[in-house]
Amino acid sequence: MSRQHFVLNAQTRETSGRSASRCLRRQEKLPGVIYGAKKEAQSLTFSHDELLHALEHEAFYSSILEIKIDGQSQKAVIKDLQRHAYKPKLVHIDFLRVDENTEITMNVPLHYVGTCAAVEDEGGVINHLMNEVEIICLPRNLPEYIEVDISGLKLDETMHLSQLKVPEGVRIVGLEHDNDAAIANVHVPRAVVEEEPAAPAEGAEGAAPAEGEAAPAADAKEQK
């Protein structure tokens, strides 16, 4: 699969603390940090809008990123992202440096493909129980996503992690811990039957007269 290449520009940040971070955000800058690979953590400043635009791409979350810090490139992956509670704003971002010879643990999205006959011919409904999966691999083997072929799934069948076809050099974390979790299934939805209101008992007040019977007389007015 072809990959997108993401490049982010960052500057070293000398100041820290809440006050300094608020000041950066007012300037449309985003505070962040990069750490790992047996090197010291660095406090960084990013363009808020540049990062917000990059985050619109699904592949950004599962890619090896190139971060140019004061012009010097480093390879990293996104590890944590804080967003504003109700505004379309970012608050802080963390990156983990990658070493080509050290495995990383990442979540990658699942892309469901194929046409399921149980849906087309038998009225079944596909349930996607997972939208991403946690994997372990070397940075060079990191997939952008993993395809889930549901074309062979039959009615009332369930697909599990062990049935995923992952690229060479990629391991699924759940299977490493004997957790072969379900990722999708197909079932016929249960019909919802509305109960009909029960007919009023014969002779009950307000009951409709039987066919051929006269309607009950209205209450007589008080005799003069």
pLDDT, tens only, 145-168: 999 999 999 999 999 999 999 999
Spatial strand order in the sheet of 182-187: 125-128, 182-187, 158-160
pLDDT (tens digit per residue) in 185-204: 999 887 644 555 666 655 55
Buried b / exposed e over 17-44, threshold 16 CB at 10 Å, is eeeebeebbeeebbbbbbebeeeeebbb
Question: Please, which pLDDT band fits residue 224 given cuts at 50, 70 and 90?
Answer: very low
Rounded CA gap, 143 and 59, in Å? 9
pLDDT (tens digit per residue) in 85-113: 999 999 999 999 999 999 999 999 999 99
Could you give the dihedral angle defined by the CA atoms of residues 57, 58, 63 and 66, in that order, rounded to the nearest 10 degrees? 20
